Chains A and B, each alone.
Chain A
């Protein structure tokens, strides 16, 4: 039976591929849920922090922190969050396209652009372009920790303090829902329009040691928490994209198996018919 053996082994290999993609799909599903949970957990911190920052800026109108003042944009920094691993559909490609778009936009305005890259994919993509890369971070894993982000963020904050960059943007894949993830740009520095809750009566805190120090620490932590949120959201997006990609791959493998099975059955039947006709022909000849 020529052909049938090959088809059979091909079916077996497709089937084992399908097993892998199915497993990856399930792993991505559970990791996505956990990442979503972490996104939810990070929200109260940022919210409470904004409240305090809002109150501080309200109470100290004469003190202008550099993070809160807008200056002419001669140089722009962009923090790009991407994934470490592939097999996540067009997720990273979309983020990179948006980044290139943003870069071109600012270069069109005569500003220089430098990058900070989080994730292996981003590093591999952007280091070919020759754009200056100020800092990078790879191997963050599925559970990003604030601890790992501090250094990377600090490089960009220092660059802003030293007037090496005048704007800081954050770009990551926003998790809209399981089916949709789209690149989102957020301006980190200077911090724009903080919603100050309407204060019912004017009162102020006692500051220990002083307001400027506390505000500085708070603003730095606020930026860090935003980058942390972006990293966690990116993981959720990555897992959702991978889940969808792996579902499609499993379905395709299923279809392929059905097709191959048909071809196999036909080949088998052809072989049997041929053998039969040979026997009949042989019998007739006797």
Chain B
């Protein structure tokens, strides 16, 4: 197949690469409607809705990927999808932010005097070190 009929597709997310390779066409669900991208498409930048991305490789079966949204970049010979690994929505993000704030507030309210597991572990480590020192001293003397 001629090179002009092939586009290079990269689907990357923050947690890893989903797909990287040549394709005859790519289909994705953009914010303003579904898109089909063939080689020599005009440069385009758009946001994706959560949904399926389909890649038709030059040989073999069509491949399907699920993206939780993201950004689609099209250049004449290259398609890059910056995929979200998580479902994004304004209210979901908002709720997560609220939870993060609350966690901080709760942690500050908690009594500082109280012994956490970490402190207990530190205490134990100190005791072990002291024991070892005693052992050494005893050996030096006797």
Residues of chain A at the chain B interface (Cβ within 8 Å): 38, 41-42, 44-46, 48-49, 52, 56, 86-87, 116-117, 120-121, 123-124, 127-128, 133-138, 145-147, 150-152, 154-155, 158, 203-209, 211, 213-214, 217-218, 221, 224-225, 228-229, 252, 256, 259, 263
Contact = CB atoms under 8 A, between A and B. Distances in A.
B20 to A, nearest CB: 8
Interface string B8-44: 0010111111000000000000111000000000111
19 contacts: A41-B17, A42-B14, A49-B82, A52-B80, A127-B108, A145-B86, A146-B15, A150-B88, A151-B95, A151-B97, A151-B99, A152-B97, A204-B43, A205-B45, A206-B42, A217-B47, A252-B132, A259-B135, A263-B139
Contacts of B95: 151
Interface in B88-110: 88, 93-101, 103-104, 107-108, 110
Given A48-B82, A221-B82, A256-B135, A124 B118 contact: yes
A228 B98 CA distance: 19
Contacts of A49: 82
B42 A44 contact: no
B85 A146 contact: yes
B31 A217 contact: no
Chain A interface mostly helix, strand, loop or mixed? helix
B101 A41 contact: no
A256 B45 contact: no
Nearest to A205: B45
A136 B107 contact: yes
Contacts of B30: 208
A254 to B, nearest CB: 13
B15 A209 contact: no
B116 to A, nearest CB: 6
Interface of B: 10, 12-17, 30-32, 42-47, 70-71, 73-74, 80, 82, 84-86, 88, 93-101, 103-104, 107-108, 110, 112, 116, 118, 121-122, 132, 135, 139
A205 B85 CA distance: 25
B19 to A, nearest CB: 12
A231 to B, nearest CB: 11
A138 B95 CA distance: 17
Contact of B139 (A41, A207, A259): A259
Contacts of A52: 45, 71, 73, 80, 82
B35 to A, nearest CB: 9
Contacts of B85: 145-147
B86 A41 contact: no
Nearest to B43: A205
A228 B14 CA distance: 8
